[in-house]
Amino acid sequence: MSQPRIVIVGSGWAGFYLAEFLSTTVYSVTIVSPRRTSAYTPLLASAACGLFNFYLAEEPVRSKTRKCRYIKANVVGVDFDSRTVHCLPAFEDDDDEISHENFELEYDYLILAPGCVPNTFNTPGVAENALFMKNVSDAMALRKLLFDLLEKASLPNCPVERKKELLHVAIVGGGPTGVEITAELNDLAHKELNDLYPEVARYLSISIYDVAPNILGSYDQKLYEYANAELLRRGIGIETNTHIEKVDKYTLYIKEKGRVPYGMLLWSTGNKAVPLVTSLDVRKTEKGVVRILTDDHLRVFKSRKSDEIYDNVYALGDAADIEGNSLPTTAEVAVQKAKYLVNFFNSRGTAKPSSVPFTYTEKQLVSYIGSHDGVIAGRGDKDGWTGRSAWLAWRSGSVMWTRSWRNRIAILLTWILNAIFGTEIAKM
């Protein structure tokens, strides 16, 4: 008897967890994704700033111990009636004919977890000139550009005003990701870069721009006001209620301020749906980011007007939400949903198959704001807190995101060596 075929779309937090833990003795598991690695997104800023090597911030989908099939492709459509997904190989700048030939995969169960892409809000010039922070290649690009800018500013014929422009890091988006990148870069600027580039490090400046009235708006007022005050005290510029009208290679054009030169632009303003999600004829959210709607067993609704579901199609991760129980697009939510589906599928055919609906266990929101300081949101009757203990909670939580004990030990050893000898970022 042949194994039931499970096709997983996406290799992010949800898709990768499913591929790792679904029983391959019971199911034939295939994962389709344009990326052959799964990034640990909370670790990307730290890796970019040299706290550990890049390979520790991602995990390969292919593994000797992971008996699933991987296909490097984008899913461009789904035929729910014939239980078929339509795929296109994901090879950029490749003129080989086979790299452009569509193919199909049949499934018995389909799990949609394609994730999202950065939302530029159609701001002219952003896609061409900004850096994002979604995967390890983004973190590598950040570090390379940072050192290129430092070397340019160190040239003997570079005037002071140009040094300041080259070393202005503009970060658009004051949410946790934008603030944590700011914190890591500011720590780097006041430690290693002062020693490596003593002539120009003092010219490096960081600014956060956000359309919202405050940064870290998902936290309580007391916490985001604390974070705002501490970042300002450390010399970081914070410009809220600002609107970016367009971007070119070296300049932001801000409605409220006019022309603002920069050397590096990081865009961290949220997500939007991938083309697959917008094209599917299923029930989806009508406000905010377009997401596939599911019931509380993570099964996909057929249409907006009907309460019928596809009993063999599931959706989770940033691309999906539960009807009547909206949850944020975080790694924690994605992993908890993935654990739920793993338990559901792996228990089928056993004496006690799982049939309970999904319930989310809320975890405390933690953000790093630099200089061994952080903020932790309160939960229930408990107030949030700040300071070194919040930083330690954030740092230890970052380590636990990695699923490999080998990686965890390697990160801890790197931190110990950094504490003793300093960060060897120039060698990385």
pLDDT in tens, the chain (428 residues): 689 999 999 999 999 999 999 999 999 999 999 999 999 998 999 999 988 889 999 999 998 888 899 999 999 999 999 999 999 999 987 788 888 899 999 999 999 999 999 999 999 999 999 999 999 999 999 999 999 999 999 999 999 999 999 999 999 999 999 999 999 999 999 888 998 999 999 999 999 999 999 999 989 999 999 999 999 999 999 999 999 999 999 999 999 999 999 999 999 998 999 999 999 999 999 999 999 999 999 999 998 777 899 999 999 999 999 999 999 999 999 999 999 999 999 998 665 667 799 999 988 889 999 999 999 987 665 678 899 998 888 888 777 777 778 888 888 888 888 878 777 664 54
Is the sign of the CA dihedral 414, 420, 422, 427 positive or negative?
A: negative
- Strands 37-39 and 84-89 turn out to be unpaired
CA distance 205 to 188: 12
Start-to-end CA span in the chain (Å): 51
State whether residue 38 is helix, strand or coil.
strand
- Strands 116-118 and 109-112 turn out to be unpaired
Give me the pLDDT at residue 428, please.
45
* Among the listed residues 197, 189, 199, the one whose alpha carbon sits nearest the alpha carbon of residue 160: 199
| CA 171 vs CA 185, 217, 266, 404: distances in Å | 11, 16, 5, 31
* Among the listed residues 150, 143, 173, 153, the one whose alpha carbon sits nearest the alpha carbon of residue 44: 143
Token readout for 323 is 């009807």
State whether residue 15 is helix, strand or coil.
helix
Residue count (the chain): 428
Calculate the CA dihedral of residues 399, 291, 267, 260 and round it to 10 degrees.
-150
CA distance 102 to 94: 15
Give me the pLDDT at residue 348, please.
82
Question: Backbone phi, then psi, for 151, in 5-degree steps?
Answer: -70, -40
Tokens 């391959």 correspond to 24
Is the sign of the CA dihedral 211, 216, 222, 226 positive or negative?
A: negative
CB 347 within 8 A of CB 355: no
| CA 130 vs CA 126, 211, 269, 288, 331: distances in Å | 5, 17, 12, 23, 24
Helix (H) or strand (E) holding 232: helix 221-233
Give me the pLDDT at residue 21, please.
95
397-400's contacts with Cβ under 8 Å and 24+ in sequence apart are 397/42, 397/366, 398/42, 398/43, 398/46
Give me the pLDDT at residue 410, please.
87
* 356 Cβ contact partners less than 8 Å away, ≥ 6 residues apart: none
- For residue 38, the cross-strand partners are 59
CA distance 112 to 15: 8
The whole model's pTM is what? 0.93
Give me the pLDDT at residue 1, please.
63
Give me the pLDDT at residue 165, please.
98
- For residue 88, the cross-strand partners are 74
Give me the pLDDT at residue 350, please.
64
Give me the pLDDT at residue 397, please.
78
Token readout for 280 is 């599917």
CB 314 within 8 A of CB 294: yes
Give me the pLDDT at residue 353, please.
63
CA distance 59 to 131: 22
